[in-house]
Amino acid sequence: MLIFIKFILGHLIGDFILQPIKWVIHKESNKIRSKYLYLHVLLHFAIYMLLLWDLSLWKLALIITIGHFIIDVLKLYTNSFYKNKSIPFFIDQGLHIALMYCCVFYANLYEHTLTLFQNLDWSLITAIVFVTYPAAIIMGKILDGMSNQIETDHKSLPNAGKYIGIIERLFVFIFIVIGRWEVIGLLIAAKSVFRFNDLKERNNRKLTEYILIGTLVSFGLAILAGLLYISQ
């Protein structure tokens, strides 16, 4: 596992810390002809070897480096097929992690993967999944009769409210699991402060009540999930 963690660390350093924007732009423009593509890959190999500090693992580092090169080339040539550029980014990162995992644990890949899945806290995973999109849909159903009475703010970012709700519920759930209830109060206070000026300017009582109900339902669902998880 330590070797896998070192490869992950090397990937994070090479892909995010030691890769200037200039390199990224040049690679996207010139693709496989970009000199920075090869420099980027060589840098990864050097970082892997420095972190591993074991010459006997050079073949493993080389295989992962070659795989990294292939994945990067595929991303460069498929980027244009996606309107949302975050999709190829996450696919790319997922493939890199999968490559490193398969290479490090290739000797007992099936057994290690099976053990990993058996040791997962499925109750925790279920609770986390619940407080994201399912909770958002439940909130939508609860507030459905009120939403048509509220004027839509076209100045807001698309789906911003949904993502804010997901993030706040995740925070609330985490704080409950680690037993920091007082932080939840601070979170509610912080949200109230940010919303206060906006609501004051609009002077819309219906909107204020709608946001208050939405906030309480959102926090309530997260608290319910947290309590159910810690009570098992």
CA distance 114 to 54: 28
Give per-residue pLDDT as tens, 92-127. Answer: 999 999 999 999 999 899 999 999 999 999 999 999
Each as own residue / partner, the long-range contacts of residues 55-58 (CB below 8 Å, 24 or more positions apart, any chain) are 57/3
What is the residue whose two structure tokens read 């409210």?
161
The per-residue pLDDT for range 36-48, each reduced to its tens digit, is 999 999 999 999 9
Kindly report the pTM of this predicted structure: 0.81
pLDDT at 151 over 90: no
Q: Residue ranges of the domains in the chain?
A: 2-118, 122-230
